[in-house]
Structure 1
Amino acid sequence: MNKLTIQQIAALSSGATAWSTRSCPEIGISDLTMSDGPHGVRKTLDAANLDYSIPATAFPTTACLANSWDVELVEQVGAAIARECRELGVQILLGPGLNIKRSPLGGRNFEYYAEDPVVSGILAGAFIRGLQSNGVAATIKHFAANNAEYHRMTINAVVDERTLREIYLRGFEIAINTGKPWALMTAYNKLNGQYCSEHERLLTGILRQEWGYDGLIMSDWTAVDSRPAALVAGLDLEMPGPSPHNDQNTAEWLAETTETGARTTSEQHATRQQEIASDRKTASQQQTSLALQEHHPAVQRSIAALRKLGERVAPRTVSAAASLSMPTAAANHELAGTAAAAGIVLLKNHHRTLPLEPDTVARLAVIGRFAREPRFQGGGSSQMNPTSLQSTLAEAEQQYQAVQYAEGYSTDGTADRAQIDQAAHAAAAADAVLLLVGLPESCESEGFDRTSLALPAGQSELIAAVCAAQPRTVVAIVAGSPVATDWRDLPAGILYAGLAGQGSGRALLDVVTGRCNPRGRLTESFPERIEDTPCYLNFPGEHTEARYGEGVFVGYRYYETVGVKTAFPFGFGLSYTEFTYSDPSLTTVSAILPQDTTYRISVNITNTGDREGTEVVQLYVSPPATRIRRPVRELRGFCTARLEPGETRRVELTITARDLCYWDTRCGCFAADPGTYQLQFGRNAADIRHSYPLELPHRIGRAPVLDEWSSMGEWLQVEPAVRLLETVIPEEFLKRLQSGTRPTDQMFRNMPLKKMAQLFPERTTPQQLVKLARQVGSR
């Protein structure tokens, strides 16, 4: 450090360019190159022109890939992207994104995994492992509570502590534990009044101290207002660079706080502007730099994080102008198609209309502009320049004897009467129809949220006209998040294709023709109406504030708890075969600490159909009824099982005692109350096939912290407290409250302990009760 000037030290905490960090050979820090992700390497050479990037494989969007629920496949995709990063000279990929899909209208939902933190965290962890196994740093983002695009740089997300811990932080915690990412990106928004890049409790208290995260923390692009405040809070790197004004402000701050030994006031700072701006002698600068080691742990931490990241990533071996090798491009194109097929979800198959095998369909009508001009990705910073692109129409023409195409709708997704009539005419002349509908890029992109679930004008009428002309119609939905499906009774089959990357054309035809048995399951519920969504009255927010009033009841947690019917529930997906569940069993592996206990629950899965297929086995936990309002069930584990016709396999899932818990705000920890929990195997959140009881005899987690203002009901649950209460409150009164036999007992149980002094002034005083409360609390 004594080799550096204070200006050099200040500059290290910001990028050198829009896509690189600064180098400092004197202290072993090399410059690192980064690129947008997470669906592929979007390497652009011009920060002001985001429309062009070096060609790279456009893998399925995160939302589509997540519908596979396939941990191994997601890890393979991460490894493949890392190989492309290496060839293109990229050492840090800005992904994966694992914010929760709070509303189906979220503008970047296609970039995120799920409405559930367990699916998000486990799949993100797999992606991170694949990426980093090849020496490329993953950057999980956006930390935290970045769930809408509305005023995303200034919005204040108001989230209660329980909701934050159980929903919006849980996925990050799982991904960090299972993937150990080398970098993390903070969100633009405020969280409970504090910008995330300057949120000391979030970055230092929770992320580093509680979770033990040891990677680099960087900002989202232009998200830092005050770099000194961000450094103190726990940020390591402001992006993008160069940022000369913030460099200068940081140098001034460093000089002030070094010489005074503490942070200066704004008045002191103002009086020193001219002096700090003047030239300093080299010796004086070096002396000031030496003092940083004692007075600036934030700067020391930032430099150490940059050095560690540089040691972890693989060195660059290519020039900035490199392109992908043909073998890598070809292999990854195949993997992109395989991944796309795995993420396609079969939503309806009336009378087994699907698959449409070419031998049984002489004339196929392919309708919809997306069939000829694929929509394979969302808009914004994740937008790729693909190495290859297959259209559904071209693939159909190769596989069917006769194919007739009708446009169906215009570039903006809207359909007029002439287009609808032309499509209906083509449908009537065919033996079957494949109709692609969905959202154009103008409806779904980073930077704005959707305003409606509806398809573009005319598309619902197009579906009705085509289905009336040809009952054997299969509709494929091309969109990054749910759309309205009030037309779903009309077609014989429905597929949710998502935004499936550059191999989407072949993948869709592989599923339609039966070459691939659909295996996808929804990681986001399809609501009947937007008004049914739990955050409808609070999304995206008002002015610059978003209140998360639905609490922990996000997505299926709400729908299943209150009995709101969805069009297609979380975890839903059909197959060309059938599966049955049988013979569940439970094994408990006790530990010294109750919270470390693990539970292994297994079940037989049988493929009862005549085709090979993959089942997604989903394990939910249903808690006992208590005064704490909890979702009726929550996903806690899952796995995939590929089975041949007639094959039975026993699958086992492991959960821990933590998976029985909720965040108890009284003790500031995860806790579970005693009672009978149900471990439920389901095909989706609304279809439970087997339920197995698990008896929890004792509370997990610290006891609640009680004081004189805690209710008598809470005090009576603590056995040592009851014995002490008997010394100051009549024993018969306490027993009566414990039994609760009289109508007025509940009224007294709800009274604070301190108020007992007014009921029994001859027995105790407020001061005695305060002392007693402190005595119990100290135990």
Structure 2
Amino acid sequence: MADYLTQLSDEERMRLFNGVGSWNSYDAGGKIPSFSMSDGPHGLRKQDAIQETEHYADLNRSRVATCFPTSSCMAASWDKSLLSELGKTIAEEAQCQQVDVVLGPGTNIKRSPLCGRNFEYFSEDPYLAGTLAAEYINGMQALGIGTSLKHFTCNNQEKRRQTSNSIVNEKTLSEIYLRPFEIAVRKAQPASIMVSYNKVNGEYAAASKFLLTEVLRKKWGFKGIVISDWGACIGAVNCLKAGMSLAMPDSNGYFSHQLEKVYKDDEEVRTKLEEVNRLVIEAAQKWNGGHQQEADNSKIDFVAHHKAALRFATNAAVLLKNDGVLPLPEKSKITVIGGMAATMKFQGGGSSHITTAPHPNALESLKALGYEIDFAEGYSGDIRDTSEHGFAQAIEAAKKAAAEKRPVLFFCGLTEEFEGEGFDRENIALPEVQTKLLDQIIALGADVIAVTFSGAPIDIYFADKVRAVLHMYLCGEACGEACAELLSGRVNPSGKIAETFPFSEKDTPCYGNFAGEEDNIEYKEGSYVGYRYYEAKNIPVRYEFGFGLSYTTFEYSNLKVDVEKREVSFDLKNTGAVKGAEASQVYIQKEGADYPELRGFEKTLLEPGETKRVTVNLDENAFKTYDTTAHNFIPDAGEYTIKVGMSVRKIVLEQKVSVSAEQAVGQTSANTENTAYIPDLALYDSFFTNTFYEQHHKGTFTSADNLGDMAKESFAVRVILKIINRIILFSMRGKSKDDPSVKIVLSAIAENPLESLISITNGIFTEKLMSRIVRMANR
């Protein structure tokens, strides 16, 4: 390592802080090793080799790869082994694609179901999210491919994500929003952490010494590198001092220019730069070389990977209702209505969009199993077409099905217009063109089976009016085959939702305080996030956290709790007639607490009549609480109720236990505790005191402000922004304004700080132009 550093000039050391192009670290002309990165997390978005660099609008141009189910879908499997296998399978493709580090998984908490990027995240529960993230990381890194756990932290909305300020107290931050990252770091040590765009308590996460050094490295013992989200490095000097290791993407010299101004006179900058240089070189040494010497798609077993994607999807889909109409009789005649049966929604829009090989849709897959299909499109699967021109044919098909007493499969869900990176939803409603048609079909008296698609909760208001509801989430390229396998009963549904489905977005804990027009977002609900809120306030929900049905039934008995070993065990029996898997959940509630908390889970596959003894290991924090005086989780002795359930509201076994202080501590290890940690009280005090920041106005605008805010007060900037938007729309002609790849670019240009635009526009937006716009905005 010392030899590598001595080979570098001061200019090269400063340059090493910034990436090269969009996807690589700096190699100083071959003097040091480098590594390459690619978007994830549910498949590779490796840019085509013919492209020297990636333009920001090229999100959908990438090499063919396998699209696996998104994180929101995989979480519904509640299967740790599947997350590990997912990581390994993507790693196999990364090896063939010359990718060293995959940018994933995402483990941000689902504060609101309206976040447009929720499909990339696991859960509203920190323990579940962190545990699944750790499994994914360990699976991928076992094959020599690094991961980048993201987005650190409190990146819980897409609107104004580049400048929004998440204002959160210490207890809430530690228990809810930091906890999944902590679990993943302690259990898996990802190669890197990707720090988010937003501010937390008044300072950019990317420039927060409290988050990047005090918490991440000193408290948790993180050993990898900290990478900025693409364009999140605002103020290179401050980000470096805070603990950022690598700023992405290439700033075309801007970051080096900032460092050069202070390098000779600032000893802290020189010391910190050497520290992060070492980390980046160590990362390159460790993770470079885990792939083939030359990218070669022919070495990827796409057939095997597609089969894995199918298995993942069928294990994660959630049966939300079934009055006995499913599974469908073999090789029967069925009516299928809805454009989504033909043009299927199986992934989200944005940086995780994957280019796939052709694959069968639901119609083709059902026909392959011998079903006779009467199909009526009804509504178009094209996001640009919201007309009702297909209603008449669909109504006639539904009438015929009702008369012949055969089921109607209605495919519906969110199109790319409604959820994707860079924007949030306004409500949880389905597209109006779909619900209008569905209501008319239900009114005919047809036996409707709803097959729904989305990356987050939707309003299933029709639940009481249809015979069955099968929620597929965004389940990857094998979506069509997965639908057929589940509807036919060839596979028994076993998924359970990892997030609450409310009756309305107005019922959510942060309603009215989410993704507004202002940057300051106060997390007033505190730790009452997701099911914690609904249970504490006894609020009715459409489907509770952990809910999911099966084609079979299960019986729980013989509960035993071993507090010393942190083990909960019980007998689980399949009392039905078909093989099935059950995701058993263990919640713990301390006496006097107003909500239970998930502290363990296990998925078990059983043959008909089979009984297994299931043992669930509890979270190391099972009997701890966060203390703001100690600035850590501390043992919390007392009376607890251990609850074993099929969901948070369907508890089938309970046992009260007394936990002593010694038992609450539990058996610790280097992976779960940092006993040498001594908090920096000054950092804690400042981080949780200086929570607000003043937005700039004419006369005080800086390079940290954005064109959108400047345009509100400057006619000249409004003109510039309009011209830029027209250029973007022209360059992306042929695409709808509602296409996620268009929306993400337009929102980034308007909302990103000017400094960020230097990096993400590949040098088109220059430092000189930035300075001119700032002066113009302040006139």
TM-score range, shorter chain: 0.7 to 0.9
Q: In structure 2, what residue type is equivalent to 1:208?
A: R
Which amino acid counterpart does residue 54 of structure 2 have in structure 1? A
> Which of 572, 575, 599 does residue 566 from structure 2 map onto?
599
Tell me, yes or no, if the aligned pair for 1:460 and 1:487 is still in contact at 8 Å.
no
Determine helix, strand or coil for the equivalent of 1:552: coil
* Structure 1 residues 637 and 459: CA distance shift in structure 2, 3 A: same
Distance 2:496 2:574 in 1: 17
Which residue, 628, 645, 648 being the options, matches 2:608?
A: 645
Classify the secondary structure of the residue corresponding to 1:9. helix
Alignment of 1:713-724 (within 5 A): none
Contact 2:35 2:284 in 1 (8 A): yes
Tell me what 1:116 maps to: 125
SS state of the match for residue 306, structure 1?
helix
Residue 6 (1) aligns with residue 15 (2): no
Q: Is the 8 A contact 1:680 1:688 kept in 2?
A: yes
**70, 78, 81: which one aligns with 1:72:** 81
Indicate if the aligned counterparts of 1:392 and 1:509 stay in contact, CA closer than 8 A.
Answer: yes
User: For residues 387 and 417 of structure 1, do their structure 2 counterparts lie closer, same or farther at Cα, with a shift above 3 Å needed?
Assistant: closer
Mapped partners of 1:331, 1:416: distance in 2 = 40
Describe the shift of the 1:649–1:226 C-alpha distance in structure 2 as closer, same or farther (beyond 3 A): same
| Contact 1:88-1:319 at 8 Å conserved across structures | no
- Pick the aligned partner of 2:275 from 283, 295, 301: 301
Aligned partner (choices 504, 518, 538) of residue 543 of structure 1? 518
CA distance in 2 between partners of 1:506 and 1:175 (Å): 32
Other-structure match for 1:189 = 198
Alignment counterpart, residue 394 of structure 1, candidates 356, 364, 367? 364
Cα drift, residue 601 of structure 1 = 1.3
Identity %: 36
Gaps of 5+ in 2: 666-674, 680-779
- Matching residue of 2:42: 39
For residues 520-557 of structure 1, give each alpha carbon's deviation from its aligned partner in whole angstroms, at most 9, with x where no partner exists. Answer: 00011100011100110211244111111111010100
Within 2, Cα distance between the matches of 1:523 and 1:248? 46
Equivalent-residue separation in structure 1 for 2:103 and 2:360 (angstroms): 26
Write the mapping of 1:159-178 to structure 2, written as runs, cut at 5 A.
159-178=168-187
Please name the residue that 1:329 is paired with. 302
Pair 1:112–1:657, CA change in 2 (3 A): closer
Query: Distance between the aligned counterparts of 1:74 and 1:4, measured in 2?
Result: 40
Residue correspondence of structure 1 range 693-708 to structure 2 within 5 A: 693-698=656-661
| Structure 1: segments with no counterpart, 5+ residues | 264-295, 590-597, 706-779
Q: Is the 8 A contact 1:622 1:679 kept in 2?
A: yes
1:413/1:439 contact within 8 Å kept? no
Q: Is the 8 A contact 1:681 1:690 kept in 2?
A: yes
8 Å contact kept, 1:413–1:438 = no
In 2, the alpha carbon distance for the partners of 1:467 and 1:622 equals: 42
Q: Distance in 2 between matches of 1:139 and 1:570?
A: 28
**In the alignment, which of 669, 676, 679 is matched to residue 642 of structure 2?**
679
Aligned to 1:423: 394
Question: Quick one: structure 1 residues 652 and 316, their matched pair in 2 at CA, closer, same or farther if it must change by over 3 Å?
Answer: closer
Residue 632 of structure 1 pairs with residue 606 of structure 2: no
Aligned to 2:24: 20
CA deviations 1:558-580 (Å, max 9, x no partner) are 00111001100110000000011
CA distance in 2, matches of 1:38, 1:262: 35
Structure 1 residue 466 displacement after superposition: 2.2
How far apart in 1 are the matches of 2:133 and 2:491?
25
Cα distance in 2 for partners of 1:218, 1:671 equals 31
Is 1:496 aligned with 2:471?
yes
Q: Give the superposition deviation at 1:319.
A: 6.5
CA pair 667-316 structure 1, distance change in 2 beyond 3 A: closer
| Number of positions where the alignment pairs a residue of Structure 1 with one of Structure 2 | 651
1:382 partner amino acid: S
Residue 412 of structure 1 corresponds to 383
Q: CA deviation at 1:617?
A: 0.6
Aligned to 2:720: none
Runs of 4+ with >6 A deviation = none
Shift, 1:689, TM fit:
0.7
Q: CA deviation at 1:600?
A: 1.3
Cα separation, 2, equivalents of 1:144 and 1:131: 22
Aligned partners of 2:494 and 2:549 also within 8 Å = yes
Q: Which moved more, 1:494-503 or 1:660-669?
A: 660-669
1:53 paired to 2:62: yes
1:609-648 CA distance string (max 9 Å, x none): 00000000100011111xxxx5510101101000011111
Compute the displacement of 1:323 (Å): 4.3
TM (norm. structure 1) is 0.81
- Structure 2 residue 460 is matched with structure 1 residue 485: yes
Structure 1 range deviating more: 240-249 or 63-72: 240-249
Q: Distance in 2 between matches of 1:139 and 1:401?
A: 44
What SS does the corresponding residue of 2:108 show, helix, strand or coil?
coil
Supply the distance in 2 between the matched residues of 1:656 and 1:66 (Cα, whole angstroms). 17
Q: What whole-Å deviation, never above 9, does each CA across 1:663-684 have from its counterpart, x for those lacking one? A: 1223322235442101110111
Query: Alpha-carbon deviations, 1:373-420, whole Å to 9, x = none?
Result: 111110000000012322011112222342111112122387655533
What residue in structure 2 maps to residue 440 of structure 1? 415
**How far apart, in 2, do the equivalents of 1:413 and 1:583 lie?**
56
Aligned with 2:622: secondary structure? helix
CA distances 1:450-479 after superposition (whole Å, capped 9, x unpaired): 001111113223222223435432101111
Aligned partners of 2:299, 2:440: CA distance in 1, in Å? 45
Deviation at 1:201, TM superposition (A): 0.7
CA–CA separation in structure 2 for the residues paired with 1:3 and 1:113 = 43
Letter of the 2:114 partner, please give it. L
Give the TM-score taking structure 2 as reference length.
0.81
User: What secondary structure, in the 3-state scheme, does the structure 1 residue paired with 2:465 have?
Assistant: coil
Query: Residues 376-387 of structure 1: matches in 2 within 5 Å?
Result: 376-387=346-357
The one-letter code of the counterpart of 1:122 is T
Aligned partner of 1:225 in structure 2 is 234
Q: In the TM superposition, what whole-angstrom CA distance separates every residue of 1:168-222 from its partner, at most 9, and x where no partner exists? A: 0000011112222111100000010110111001000000000000001110011
Deviation at 1:314, TM superposition (A): 4.4
Counterpart check, 1:338 vs 2:303: no
- The equivalences for 1:624-773 within 5 A come to 624-625=591-592, 630-655=593-618, 658-698=621-661
